[in-house]
A and B are shown apart, each in its own frame.
Chain A
Amino acid sequence: MKKYIILVLSIVLLQSYTSSAQAKKPTIMIVPSDVWCNQNGYMQRYNNQGAIVSIPDYKRAFQENAEVLQVISQINGMMADRGFPLKNMESAIKTLEANAAEDNMRTSKETGAAVNESPIDALKKVAKADVIMQLTWTVNKTGPKKSITFNLQGLDAYTDKQVATATGTGAPSFSAETPVLLSEAVISHIDNFTASLQTHFDDMFENGREIIVRIQKWDDWDGDLEKEYGDEELGTIIEDWMAENTLKGRFSTTDMTEDMALFEQVRIPLLNEKGRAIDARKFVKKLSKMLKKEPYMIPNKLVMKGLGRATIILGSK
Chain B
Amino acid sequence: MLVCMSHQGVAQSKKRKANKDTKEWRYDLSCEGIAKQGSKLVKVWSYSKSPKFAIAQAKKNAVHGIIFKGFAGGGAGCTSFKPLYDEPSIKEDHEAFFELLFKDGGAYMKYVSSATDGNIAAGDRLKISKKEYKIGLVVDVLTDQLRKKLEAEGIIKGLNSGF
Contact = CB atoms under 8 A, between A and B. Distances in A.
Interface of A: 22-26, 78-79, 81-84, 166, 168, 170-171, 184-185, 187-189, 191-192, 194-195, 197-198, 201-202, 205, 270
A84 B80 contact: no
B6 interface: no
Contacts, number: 60
B158 A191 contact: no
A82 B158 CA distance: 7
B125 interface: no
B34 to A, nearest CB: 5
Interface string B63-100: 00000000001011111111000000000000000000
Given A81-B144, A187-B34, A187-B37, A170 B160 contact: no
A263 B81 CA distance: 37
A188 B82 contact: no
B157 interface: yes
Task: Provide the main secondary structure of the chain A interface.
Answer: helix
Given A22-B163, A81-B144, A188 B77 contact: yes
B158 A201 contact: no
Interface residues of B, number: 23
Interface of B: 33-38, 73, 75-82, 143-144, 157-160, 162-163
A24 B163 CA distance: 6
Contacts of A23: 162-163
Contacts of B81: 191-192
Given A22-B162, A22-B163, A168-B73, A78 B37 contact: yes
A189 B162 contact: no
Contacts of B78: 188
